[in-house]
Chains A and B, each alone.
Chain A
């Protein structure tokens, strides 16, 4: 048997161990073939991901190409969006996407840092579980539910009053200039902030937990207060992770569709004031798709391609930044 095995089943590169192939076992060539078949199948499944991703780029870009061709660079530099006239300038949507995402980060990053620091540095044991689970729950809620809740609860209860307040008392600052609307960059930014806070929180929490206890103890032993320990020993170590978490949150905010579609106010305009309605790239796709035809659809697909490129760039940038921080 040993002899046979060594002669007959010279293992293929993919089957690391030969199988016992004595005559009684009826598995001579079949076993080997099954092994390579399985390996090929597994490899193909992996390659499928690359294939789909490539197909995605080709298929969408191909569909949008006529519009890219007819609009040229004005597709992303013009804010004139008039499907009936065949004018497709998407700057207003790009602007809205960026503004809402920035507002979301401005709110979500401090909140996430607070919650994750609470969970790793402050929380008594019995609070850790409930608070952590509540954050996870927030991450599990589908975006359409955030949208529904945002429109019918958060809008009258919080967004509209705050927008009114900002326009009334801080309206002299251009970014708060009225007339205020609850459905606005600000409204969409707030709902986005609630949605990305759990993502950033759980990543930051993981990062803080990797900071060695020795660093904390060194700072405590020098007579540091709790905050000084966090500020001097925990945060510097976690900086790369915080940036990475923020970038991932940003990526999610840029592509978020439904909740933003319901709360941004759906106005094709570029407004410096965050309490004015606007539009975002993902929102315009979701809102206008059902009534769009012809070049209008191609333009919406084109917006998708630009959005895709934007999120890919952000992801790459996150990696590069994390890489750089990790070295210093």
Chain B
């Protein structure tokens, strides 16, 4: 290193050429001038302070958002495990909230039946609709219309879907599992349509051409080539839709109504669901009922997380395959 540093004096032309001394007065920040080291220059205190303050605020926001995550996970687990046992999983609700024991088996069965039927209906219809959008409709007016109103439908409050099924099906046919399933299917379908559409779009044209070149008809190409290669992505969307449906409460109040009894009837009598059972437990003032609600919440959370995490796993696997 040379000894003749500008900072230590003596360098004739050491000053930055473009910074005539006169210019320095106009800058609040300070500049490297003869005799000043970079180390002596700080950005204005106001700027540094604002930078630090906002970093702190952002970290605070992260902390505030992480707090409920940790609390919910911890408290649902802790309070749920206290009541959760084999008996809870396999027995139905007692007729009084006051009474201890019993469980949400009736709710679990109801959720299973309704989500199952809803999936059986909405998955094929949703996938077919997506096939129409990608393979047939493309950019025609009908496809645009369907796309737009699918988006609108994902924004429709689920309680309104429940009201619709109530007016359309419950008034003529009464409460029951099928009505609950219908409302869940309506909630699931737009989710499946839009996620499947995104996946189908990713199937390369070369693959479809290969199908056609082998003499396959369009529908065969779609069923044998396009759908299988998009299957992981479609599965991801379906699993997320199932997780969403399993957690729905509001539409089921209006269509399945809820019940204390274990039933597998598809129509004619009200049926419970895990969410309805938890909602009842949360609304009543008795400790036993509330304890069951916590255990039910743990059960529901596990089911929902299995599907959510499963969807992620499937998605990441398919990415590796691609």
Chain A contacts to B: CB under 8 angstroms: 14-17, 19-20, 31-32, 34-35, 37-39, 41-50, 52-53, 55-56, 59-60, 62-63, 110-111, 113-115, 117-118, 122, 131, 134-138, 140-149, 151-153, 194, 197, 201, 223, 225-228, 230, 248, 251, 254-258, 262, 282, 285-286, 289-290, 300-301, 304-305, 307-308, 311-312, 314-315
Q: Considering the chains assembled together, what is the distance between the CA atoms of A151 and B222 in angstroms?
A: 50
- Tell me whether B217 and A59 are in contact (CB under 8 A): no
- Tell me whether B250 and A286 are in contact (CB under 8 A): yes
Q: Considering the chains assembled together, what is the distance between the CA atoms of A59 and B254 in angstroms?
A: 15
Across-interface contacts of A46 in B (CB, < 8 A): 128-129, 132-133, 137, 142-143, 146, 193
Across-interface contacts of B301 in A (CB, < 8 A): 141-142, 145
> Does more than half of chain A's interface fall in helix, strand or loop, or is it mixed?
helix
Across-interface contacts of B128 in A (CB, < 8 A): 41-42, 44-46
Across-interface contacts of A145 in B (CB, < 8 A): 72, 76, 247, 278, 297, 300-301
- Tell me whether B62 and A258 are in contact (CB under 8 A): no
Q: What distance in Å separates the Cβ of B107 from its nearest Cβ neighbour in chain A?
A: 11
Across-interface contacts of A38 in B (CB, < 8 A): 218-219, 222-223
Is B149 part of the binding interface, using a Cβ–Cβ cutoff of 8 Å? yes
Chain B contacts to A: CB under 8 angstroms: 29, 43, 47-48, 50-51, 54-55, 57-62, 64-66, 68-69, 71-73, 75-76, 124-126, 128-129, 131-133, 135-137, 142-143, 145-146, 149-153, 155-161, 163-164, 166-168, 171, 186, 189-190, 193, 212, 215-219, 222-223, 243, 246-250, 253-254, 257, 275, 278-279, 281-283, 290, 293-294, 297, 300-301, 304-305, 308
Q: Considering the chains assembled together, what is the distance between the CA atoms of A142 and B298 in angstroms?
A: 11
Q: What distance in Å separates the Cβ of A225 from its nearest Cβ neighbour in chain B?
A: 4
Q: Considering the chains assembled together, what is the distance between the CA atoms of A128 and B65 in angstroms?
A: 14
With A138-B72, A149-B71 already in contact, 7 other A-B pairs whose C-beta atoms are closer than 8 Å: A19-B215, A56-B160, A142-B275, A144-B275, A144-B297, A149-B297, A312-B156
- Tell me whether B247 and A144 are in contact (CB under 8 A): yes
- Tell me whether B155 and A258 are in contact (CB under 8 A): no
Across-interface contacts of B223 in A (CB, < 8 A): 38
- Tell me whether B155 and A312 are in contact (CB under 8 A): yes
Q: What distance in Å separates the Cβ of B82 from its nearest Cβ neighbour in chain A?
A: 13
Query: Of B142, B145, B163, B189, which is in contact with the most chain A CB atoms at under 10 Å from its CB?
Result: B163
Across-interface contacts of B149 in A (CB, < 8 A): 49-50, 53
Complex: chain A residue closest to B43, CB-CB: A225
Across-interface contacts of B135 in A (CB, < 8 A): 42
Q: What distance in Å separates the Cβ of A68 from its nearest Cβ neighbour in chain B?
A: 14
Q: Considering the chains assembled together, what is the distance between the CA atoms of A137 and B68 in angstroms?
A: 11
**Residue in contact with A47 in the complex, picked from B142, B171, B294, B305, CB distance below 8 Å:** B142
**Residue in contact with A301 in the complex, picked from B61, B137, B166, CB distance below 8 Å:** B166
A-B contact count (CB 8 A): 269
Across-interface contacts of B64 in A (CB, < 8 A): 111
Across-interface contacts of A118 in B (CB, < 8 A): 58-59, 61-62
- Tell me whether A138 and B65 are in contact (CB under 8 A): yes
- Tell me whether B155 and A197 are in contact (CB under 8 A): no
- Tell me whether A304 and B152 are in contact (CB under 8 A): no
Across-interface contacts of A138 in B (CB, < 8 A): 65, 68-69, 72
- Tell me whether A31 and B217 are in contact (CB under 8 A): yes
**Residue in contact with B158 in the complex, picked from A14, A19, A137, A257, CB distance below 8 Å:** A257
Q: Considering the chains assembled together, what is the distance between the CA atoms of A201 and B58 in angstroms?
A: 13
- Tell me whether B152 and A258 are in contact (CB under 8 A): no
Query: Of A118, A223, A305, which is in contact with the most chain B CB atoms at under 10 Å from its CB?
Result: A118
**Residue in contact with B47 in the complex, picked from A111, A151, A228, CB distance below 8 Å:** A228
Q: Considering the chains assembled together, what is the distance between the CA atoms of A223 and B216 in angstroms?
A: 61
**Residue in contact with B160 in the complex, picked from A144, A151, A307, CB distance below 8 Å:** A307
A300-B142 contact given A19-B215, A145-B76, CB 8 Å threshold: no
Across-interface contacts of B167 in A (CB, < 8 A): 59-60, 62-63, 301
- Tell me whether B51 and A228 are in contact (CB under 8 A): yes
- Tell me whether B136 and A39 are in contact (CB under 8 A): yes
Query: Of A151, A257, A300, which is in contact with the most chain B CB atoms at under 10 Å from its CB?
Result: A257
- Tell me whether B157 and A56 are in contact (CB under 8 A): no
Q: Considering the chains assembled together, what is the distance between the CA atoms of A311 and B157 in angstroms?
A: 8
Q: What distance in Å separates the Cβ of B185 from its nearest Cβ neighbour in chain A?
A: 9
Across-interface contacts of A201 in B (CB, < 8 A): 65
A301-B163 contact given A153-B75, A262-B282, CB 8 Å threshold: yes
- Tell me whether A289 and B254 are in contact (CB under 8 A): yes
- Tell me whether B146 and A258 are in contact (CB under 8 A): no
Q: What distance in Å separates the Cβ of A314 from its nearest Cβ neighbour in chain B?
A: 8
Q: What distance in Å separates the Cβ of B216 from its nearest Cβ neighbour in chain A?
A: 7
A49-B43 contact given A138-B68, A248-B155, A311-B155, CB 8 Å threshold: no
Q: What distance in Å separates the Cβ of B73 from its nearest Cβ neighbour in chain A?
A: 8
A144-B249 contact given A55-B168, A262-B282, A312-B155, CB 8 Å threshold: yes
A227-B137 contact given A118-B58, A144-B282, CB 8 Å threshold: no
Q: What distance in Å separates the Cβ of A207 from its nearest Cβ neighbour in chain B?
A: 16
- Tell me whether B155 and A251 are in contact (CB under 8 A): yes
Across-interface contacts of A315 in B (CB, < 8 A): 151-152, 155
Q: Considering the chains assembled together, what is the distance between the CA atoms of A44 and B76 in angstroms?
A: 44
Q: Considering the chains assembled together, what is the distance between the CA atoms of A322 and B155 in angstroms?
A: 16
Q: What distance in Å separates the Cβ of B120 from its nearest Cβ neighbour in chain A?
A: 14
- Tell me whether B129 and A42 are in contact (CB under 8 A): yes
A286-B253 contact given A60-B160, A145-B278, CB 8 Å threshold: yes
**Residue in contact with B61 in the complex, picked from A42, A115, A223, CB distance below 8 Å:** A115
Q: What distance in Å separates the Cβ of B80 from its nearest Cβ neighbour in chain A?
A: 10
Q: Considering the chains assembled together, what is the distance between the CA atoms of A56 and B164 in angstroms?
A: 5
A111-B65 contact given A60-B164, A141-B304, CB 8 Å threshold: yes
Q: Considering the chains assembled together, what is the distance between the CA atoms of A75 and B173 in angstroms?
A: 29
A225-B47 contact given A45-B128, A60-B167, A143-B249, CB 8 Å threshold: yes
